[in-house]
């Protein structure tokens, strides 16, 4: 009889690894909130100062524990930090920014927006915004394109994994401000497509560098450069700020940002097509490749 826990090679099935990871992550975050948060509050440290960074750190700890259990290095998840990793992160940042500029340019072309300089713009605000979005990109990409995504790829295949994670990525943003009515429909579609876009970036490179760079460039350009909202959150200041010209929100994205715009959807689709046509740079060194003898046949 086929075991629901182990493959024929006696390796634990990928579905169970996903559950183990989520349980370990929940325990790490819960332990931090129970033991460390009261101390930080006592010292007057505000939640916004460290929340995203802590979530990323906890996800790294959970991944390290799971990869150690699987007798794999942490680098196998996509953190093989070398010159190629840095290059792909930089190129991804430019690519993500270009996709957002395309969406904004399409909105401008139909007369939906112009820009004016933000009177309180500053290099400090731009730099702080960049740092925050680096942490956001690392946290979300490590969570959605890291250990969970990779176990699902092994277990159910590429497109089922892409579609499942796209659904969860879209739903994960439903709690953001402004998620109602037409905005919710267009934003959910755009964010789900963005998940496919970012998943494809991982598949073409087998590294988290490119998806992290794309996510970073997308957010920072949208918010701190062009002055739009980012997934409904409020950006303190951009270098410029948009002046809308009466187009409906399904075109402009409104206060939610270009992710709730039809032009955001078009721009992401362009990005997907470009990555689809690219042959990629994926090379998995033998030292990082799981062996059937160690883990059994790849199966859910």
Reported as a single tens digit per residue, the pLDDT across 192-211 is 999 999 999 999 999 999 99
Mean pLDDT by 10 residues, the chain (300 residues): 70 92 95 78 65 91 96 94 96 97 97 92 89 94 96 94 93 81 87 96 96 97 92 74 90 89 96 93 51 38
CA 134 – CA 216 distance, rounded (Å):
6
Q: Number of structural domains, the chain? A: 2
The H or E element spanning position 244 is strand 240-244
**Residues 140, 48 share a domain:** no
- Residue 143 within any structural domain of the chain: yes
**Residues 244, 153 share a domain:** yes
pLDDT at 235: 61
Beta-bridge partners for 19: none
**Residues 100, 35 share a domain:** no
**Residues 141, 92 share a domain:** yes
**Residues 155, 262 share a domain:** yes
pLDDT at 38: 79
pLDDT at 288: 39
**Residues 241, 115 share a domain:** yes
- Residue 292 within any structural domain of the chain: no
pLDDT at 43: 61
pLDDT at 120: 85
Picking from 15, 40, 72, the residue at the C-terminal end of a domain is: 72
- Residue 130 within any structural domain of the chain: yes
**Residues 193, 270 share a domain:** yes
**Residues 89, 61 share a domain:** no
Picking from 72, 95, 122, the residue at the C-terminal end of a domain is: 72
pLDDT at 285: 43
- Residue 24 within any structural domain of the chain: yes
pLDDT at 103: 97
User: Which residues constitute the domain of residue 132?
Assistant: 82-283
**Residues 111, 259 share a domain:** yes
pLDDT at 172: 84
- Residue 121 within any structural domain of the chain: yes
pTM: 0.89
**Residues 162, 63 share a domain:** no
pLDDT at 44: 67
DSSP SS3 for 116: strand
Measure the CA dihedral 158/160/161/163, to 10°.
Answer: 120
CA 74 – CA 146 distance, rounded (Å):
10
Which residues make Cβ contacts (< 8 Å) with residue 180, sequence separation at least 6? none
- Residue 33 within any structural domain of the chain: yes
11 backbone dihedrals φ, ψ, rounded to 5°: -90, 145
**Residues 188, 107 share a domain:** yes
- Residue 300 within any structural domain of the chain: no
- Residue 77 within any structural domain of the chain: no
**Residues 93, 42 share a domain:** no
pLDDT at 296: 36
Contact between 178 and 232 (Cβ < 8 Å): yes
For residue 228, CA distances in Å to 94, 118, 159, 189 come to 18, 12, 32, 18
R_g over Cα of the chain = 20
Picking from 72, 95, 125, the residue at the C-terminal end of a domain is: 72
């Amino acid at each position: 009889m086929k075991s629901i826990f182990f493959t024929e090679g006696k390796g634990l099935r990928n579905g169970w690894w996903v559950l183990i990871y989520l349980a370990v992550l929940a325990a790490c975050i819960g332990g931090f909130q129970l033991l460390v948060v009261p101390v930080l509050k006592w010292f007057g440290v505000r939640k916004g100062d460290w929340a995203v960074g802590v979530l990323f750190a906890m996800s790294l700890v959970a991944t390290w524990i799971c990869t150690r259990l699987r007798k794999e290095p942490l680098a196998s998840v996509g953190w093989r930090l070398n010159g190629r990793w840095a290059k792909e992160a930089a190129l991804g940042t430019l690519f993500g920014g270009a996709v957002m500029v395309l969406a904004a340019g399409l909105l401008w072309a139909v007369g939906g927006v112009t820009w004016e300089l933000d009177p309180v713009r500053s290099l400090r605000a731009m730099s702080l915004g960049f740092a925050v979005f680096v942490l956001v990109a690392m946290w979300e990409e490590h969570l959605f394109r890291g250990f969970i995504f990779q176990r699902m790829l092994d277990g159910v295949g590429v497109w089922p994994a892409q579609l499942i994670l796209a659904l969860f990525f879209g739903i994960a943003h439903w709690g953001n401000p402004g998620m109602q009515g037409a905005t919710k429909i267009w934003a959910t579609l755009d964010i789900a497509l963005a998940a496919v876009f970012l998943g494809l970036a991982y598949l073409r490179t087998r590294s988290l560098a490119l998806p992290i760079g794309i996510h970073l460039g997308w957010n920072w350009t949208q918010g701190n450069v062009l002055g739009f909202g980012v997934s409904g959150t409020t950006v303190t200041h951009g270098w410029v700020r948009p002046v809308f010209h009466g187009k409906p929100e399904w075109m402009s994205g409104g206060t939610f940002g270009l992710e709730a715009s039809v032009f955001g959807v078009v721009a992401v689709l362009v990005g997907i097509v470009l990555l689809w046509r690219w042959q990629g740079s994926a090379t998995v060194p033998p030292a990082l490749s799981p062996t059937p003898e160690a883990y059994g046949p790849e199966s859910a």
